[in-house]
Structure 1
């Protein structure tokens, strides 16, 4: 628009100024709104379950529970993450190779093959 056009139309100048202010302030206006989390990374040798199940996006305050394959355990004490302000908290854990598997925060010990015969035969029937 030419300056002479803006001078002849006061509402045009006001509209232009208001439009520019709105454009500059738009990120600030939307920053207070809760945002969804992205699909969480799946730990190698593990996975996650949604609460509630099945997963239908990841809105704020949604929970996921991590688990590991047999022979691996979760690297953190907390197997749950919650969507807060568009990020998962606590961060996504890793599955670490070990002698047991830690699923849902409980360490389950695996009986070595050489001990299985003795363990099973010694059980009362």
Structure 2
């Protein structure tokens, strides 16, 4: 079992973990749990094949953010804080009960402002 990590966003405590599936590294997710454990957000990242192998969000994926080159690695808390802030803009914490799933984390990153050339290629 992966160890949950603590993060504080908008002066509230959450616990989070980033995992990728060992059997198929192209599938990964971020799980964020409210500090009182009354609600969870799960954001899935389906990446298809990647020329460098493995999951690009595990190893780091080159991107542009506000005109600056960066590497998105979902093991880093700053990216989790951005994702959670994005979710909380449309879903106040009081409404975050049960498990809420987002199935396209890549589009969520684009909506936050990340730009990258990465295009997933799914094997049929």
TM-score if structure 1 supplies the norm length? 0.26
Larger Rg: 1
Larger strand fraction of residues = 2
Q: Which fold has the larger relative contact order, with Cα–Cα distance below 8 Å and residues 6 or more apart in sequence?
A: 2
TM-score if structure 2 supplies the norm length? 0.26
Larger helix fraction of residues = 1
